[in-house]
Structure 1
Amino acid sequence: MAEANQLSSASAWLNQREPRAMGLGRSHLFTAVEAGLDPLVLVFSLWALAFYYEGAVRPAYLILSVIVFSLTFPGSAQLRLPVWKVLFKIAFHWIWIAGLLLLTGYVTEYFHKFSMAVLVHWLWVAPLAQIGAHLALRAAAPQLLKLQGPPRGAVIVGMNEQGVSLAGHIAGSAYSGIDLKGFFDDRGEERRTAQDGQDGHRLVGKIDDLPAYVKQHRIQFIYLSLPMASRPRILQVLDGLKDTTASIYFVPDMFITDLIQGRSDTVCGVTVISVCDTPFRGVNGVLKRASDIVLSLLILMLILPVMAVIALMVKLDSPGPIIFKQRRYGLDGEEILVYKFRSMAVTEDGGTIRQASKNDMRVTRLGAILRKTSLDELPQFFNVLQGRMSIVGPRPHAVAHNEMYRSLIKGYMVRHKVRPGITGWAQVNGQRGETDTLDKMQSRIDCDLDYLRNWSLQLDFFIILKTIRLVFKDGAAY
């Protein structure tokens, strides 16, 4: 599980979301500043260039400003990210926004409304201004934190694994504005240490002491990290806190319910909590599908000559069909047909399928090269256009393998909440090739579930770039 945790940490690096409220580890001031920083910098840089080159900000620039602000607000929280990650995110988002604006201006013939000098200079001034603004915010952050007054007191009820994890995150956040006083727990020290394996955290008192402590020390944030099964105890704690003004938050018991895209929602006016859901709802689904279609069309236009040569070589290399069609599980566990250039002398698609292994005699001479370089996967871009697959997502397994592993690995079928991908987070993290042990498949599934938890469009592009780099260096495929 240590290896799985490392993969989980790595998968979140491009999509580190900050909680939205101060009580959850964010300052209202920093939340507001970061929400408006990027949109305002882009707008003001455009206005500055328009005024410099034309002497005024004409209505066309005001309309463009509204569009840019709408596309970029609210800005993402990046204070806690390393500088190089901030640079990557700024570059990625600006390429995306600028490309969309340029394409729209070309299609609508709206370019003639603007000075070409303004637009050309804005393409490089805007991202540089963003970088400068973020660096300036980092430099000013300590002073801004002092302007908010002393840190606000907080306590955690329940010294268990998720409570200790929350304490660690609060301690590691330089701009939370939270002063964690300690824990309240009814268990003795020996029992806590034996059960949770945690020590070194300050125990303030028993849970019954909580209301008096909160009032005496003016505690403003209380985090309830009690097990979900302790409903009577939770109600008792809440009842005791009714005479205080503290904000109270539940810490999800992630070790009972492992949330996949957890979020709040409403059903016919009733509030519900998402426990396991796809990340591709609403706008995210549109962005994901649009990026798949656009990229697939561009890639196919580039690789069609290569695919024609490969098809001819497959035909000449060994008898059999050029394209191998195999049943796989797709979105929501529905069966789909996936295309590949045939790389073996056999075309297995039955109830029992043996995975390719090192020095597998079924692999043809050409097939060994195709599999090692992933060129056998190129026809799957047609699967993407059909809507059966995505460019990035969990790799589809043969139906026979799915039926075997779904009973052996907990949460295996959750990976089918999204379309399978030509490449995925597991593949760029060394989980490509033969899964000859259950642990190897478990590691692959852990990566797939991490992708579902942490999806973002920039993570998809990062995986695509990393896939291209690994194509000629990966020795794990047979």
Structure 2
Amino acid sequence: MLKENQRIFNVTMVVLDACICLISMVLAFVIRFNVLDGGHDRIGIVYYLRLMVLVIPFYFLLYQYFGLHDSFRSKALVSEIGKIVQANMVGSIFIFVLVFFLKEVNVSRMVVVLFAGMNTLFGSIERVAIRKILRRLREKGYNLKQLLIVGWNQASGEFYDKIMLNRSLGYDVCGYLSGQPENVGKRNLPYRGTFQDLSNLLENKEIDEVVISLDYDEFPELEEIIDTCEREGVKSSLLPFYTKFLPTRPYIDVVEGMPLINLRRVPLDNLVNGFLKRSFDIVASLLGLVLLSPVFLGVAIGVKCSSPGPVIYRQTRIGRRKREFTMYKFRSMSTENNADMTTWGTRNDGRRTGFGAFLRKYSLDELPQLWNVLKGDMSLVGPRPERPYFVEKFREEIPLYMMKHLVRPGITGWAQVNGWRGDTSIEERIKCDIYYIENWTFLLDIKILFLTIFKGIVNKSEDL
């Protein structure tokens, strides 16, 4: 039943995308020649609609190539929207090339650009709306994918807990197989037999996917389990017992035909990605320093009048590749008895001045770090840097803590917009930092910046 629903869903997505392409072209034409003062239309809308006879099939192939018609049950929305943007950029180039070969010089380039922009916008809105609809349906028990877990261990237990906690993913687990009944705690998960019972269970066609989670001593069974799934035409996935060592998006290198799993692939190690992020940092920080200069002046006067001492507070932090750098802040504390290098700030820190509490509440004390970004010590977005004392302390206490130094630290980050800032859990903050490092995209940076503007500026605690 789920496979039939998936086919219907795929066809529906194709039809909707085709309609969006057509509507976007019509609107682009109307905006260009009826709304904007764009001059005289020489070829008429009929020509643009004829173009769509070739453009829509090409877009279908593009969307197939980018996986935009696949099930997005486990895909991130940001990643999908990023693919829509890429597809429309390629599509625009195709339209320009197509018009060139058709030798029609009167096609408006503005219409093509507007078409790409609106097709991206409407396509993104479509994906968001469909996700919300499917989430509601799945929460009510519809459109569920039936999973069977083969093998039971800590990894499979955590997997079961996570998918049951988030019912909007649309998974339901019908049981597990193991050499013998295991202690599954309070989980409502039936024991369906041993590994040898897999074939009979798959023949009943009640199972949509098999999740294989074997311990190291059960690996001799792996080949037979995979063969059984493939013989019955059921998709299988591997959930290794060593998942805690794997990144969220593993990258596989191939050496002489042998696959090697890269445990810590960092997208920002790519020269193009690094150049794009650094270029954006330079332009944005420079604009920020210029546009916010009146704010800098007002805050500087406020700091100077609130208590004696320097306006700018300098502090040593650990940045990329574990190198020390001087980070700048507007001073928010009195200069007396300031043991700031080894003292963990708290929400009710008595060292704060009255004006300093205001600065911290609205994160205005962080503004001088735009200079750190321009210099290259920091980025607009990234893991927050920490003081040397706490780096040495946390590297022994928090798993993967030192991985945050693979990239430039940031003024804001994924952890901060998710509420892990100030006097909060370091473990959860590091999980967010690792996720950001392994899943970086330029669109993710933009998303974090927008989230910072709308919900991350007001600081309910203290950002250390």
**TM bucket normalised to smaller:** 0.5 to 0.7
TM-score of the aligned structures, taking structure 2 as reference length: 0.67
**3-state SS, counterpart of residue 421 of structure 2:** coil
CA RMSD of aligned residues (A): 5.3
2:195 to 207, 210, 216: 207
- Between 1:330-339 and 1:448-457, the stretch displaced more is 448-457
Corresponding residue of 1:276: 264
Shift of 1:380: 1.0
Do 1:351 and 1:400's aligned partners in 2 also have CA atoms closer than 8 Å? no
C-alpha distance in structure 1 between counterparts of 2:128 and 2:87, whole Å: 19
Do 2:24 and 2:115's aligned partners in 1 also have CA atoms closer than 8 Å? no
Aligned-partner residue type, residue 257 of structure 1: K
Tell me whether 1:114 sits opposite 2:108 in the alignment. yes
Shift of 1:96: 13
1:444 to 414, 429, 434: 429
C-alpha distance in structure 2 between counterparts of 1:37 and 1:87, whole Å: 20
C-alpha distance in structure 2 between counterparts of 1:158 and 1:313, whole Å: 63
2:376 to 373, 387, 390: 387
Shift of 1:206: 1.3
Shift of 1:326: 1.8
2:231 to 245, 253, 272: 245
C-alpha distance in structure 2 between counterparts of 1:414 and 1:324, whole Å: 27
Seen in structure 2, the aligned counterparts of structure 1 residues 361 and 174 have a Cα distance that, compared at 3 Å, is closer
Corresponding residue of 1:262: 249
Q: Deviations over 1:75-115 (max 9, x none)?
A: 6579768xxx97998699779989xx9xxx9xxxxxx9737
Matches within 5 A, 1:125-140: 127-128=121-122, 131=125
Corresponding residue of 1:163: 156
Unpaired runs of 5+ residues, structure 2, are: 34-43, 97-105, 135-143
Shift of 1:400: 1.1
Seen in structure 2, the aligned counterparts of structure 1 residues 343 and 138 have a Cα distance that, compared at 3 Å, is closer
C-alpha distance in structure 1 between counterparts of 2:65 and 2:376, whole Å: 30
1:475 to 457, 460, 463: 460
Shift of 1:289: 3.5
Corresponding residue of 2:363: 374
Corresponding residue of 1:306: 295
Corresponding residue of 2:36: none
Shift of 1:224: 1.7
Corresponding residue of 1:334: 323
Shift of 1:33: 7.7
Equivalent pairs counted in the alignment come to 417
Shift of 1:180: 6.7
Matches within 5 A, 1:18-37: none
**3-state SS, counterpart of residue 373 of structure 2:** helix
Corresponding residue of 2:48: 57
Q: Deviations over 1:97-156 (max 9, x none)?
A: 89xx9xxx9xxxxxx97375776687557634664687689999xxxxxxxxxx999743
Do 2:317 and 2:385's aligned partners in 1 also have CA atoms closer than 8 Å? yes
- Between 1:421-430 and 1:124-133, the stretch displaced more is 124-133
Higher relative contact order (CA 8 A, sep 6+): 1
Do 1:428 and 1:470's aligned partners in 2 also have CA atoms closer than 8 Å? yes
C-alpha distance in structure 2 between counterparts of 1:73 and 1:240, whole Å: 31
- Between 1:126-135 and 1:242-251, the stretch displaced more is 126-135
Aligned-partner residue type, residue 108 of structure 2: F
Shift of 1:272: 1.7
Aligned-partner residue type, residue 66 of structure 2: P
Matches within 5 A, 1:359-438: 360-434=349-423
**3-state SS, counterpart of residue 328 of structure 1:** strand
Seen in structure 2, the aligned counterparts of structure 1 residues 91 and 261 have a Cα distance that, compared at 3 Å, is closer
Shift of 1:226: 0.8
Corresponding residue of 2:66: 74
Matches within 5 A, 1:288-327: 288-315=277-304, 317-327=306-316
TM-score of the aligned structures, taking structure 1 as reference length: 0.66
Do 2:247 and 2:264's aligned partners in 1 also have CA atoms closer than 8 Å? yes
**3-state SS, counterpart of residue 244 of structure 2:** coil
Q: Deviations over 1:439-460 (max 9, x none)?
A: x333433443444455554544
Do 1:37 and 1:75's aligned partners in 2 also have CA atoms closer than 8 Å? no
Do 1:87 and 1:131's aligned partners in 2 also have CA atoms closer than 8 Å? no
Seen in structure 2, the aligned counterparts of structure 1 residues 32 and 399 have a Cα distance that, compared at 3 Å, is farther
Corresponding residue of 1:184: 177
Q: Deviations over 1:290-321 (max 9, x none)?
A: 44334333333321222133334445555544
**3-state SS, counterpart of residue 298 of structure 1:** helix
C-alpha distance in structure 1 between counterparts of 2:155 and 2:306, whole Å: 57
C-alpha distance in structure 2 between counterparts of 1:237 and 1:91, whole Å: 36
Corresponding residue of 2:37: none
Seen in structure 2, the aligned counterparts of structure 1 residues 155 and 293 have a Cα distance that, compared at 3 Å, is same
Corresponding residue of 2:40: none
Do 1:327 and 1:399's aligned partners in 2 also have CA atoms closer than 8 Å? yes
Do 1:393 and 1:425's aligned partners in 2 also have CA atoms closer than 8 Å? yes
Shift of 1:391: 1.6
- Between 1:131-140 and 1:382-391, the stretch displaced more is 131-140
Shift of 1:398: 1.0
Seen in structure 2, the aligned counterparts of structure 1 residues 423 and 345 have a Cα distance that, compared at 3 Å, is same
**3-state SS, counterpart of residue 203 of structure 1:** coil
Seen in structure 2, the aligned counterparts of structure 1 residues 472 and 275 have a Cα distance that, compared at 3 Å, is closer
Q: Deviations over 1:383-412 (max 9, x none)?
A: 222332222222111111111122222222
Corresponding residue of 1:224: 212
Shift of 1:281: 4.6
Seen in structure 2, the aligned counterparts of structure 1 residues 469 and 409 have a Cα distance that, compared at 3 Å, is same
Seen in structure 2, the aligned counterparts of structure 1 residues 91 and 159 have a Cα distance that, compared at 3 Å, is closer
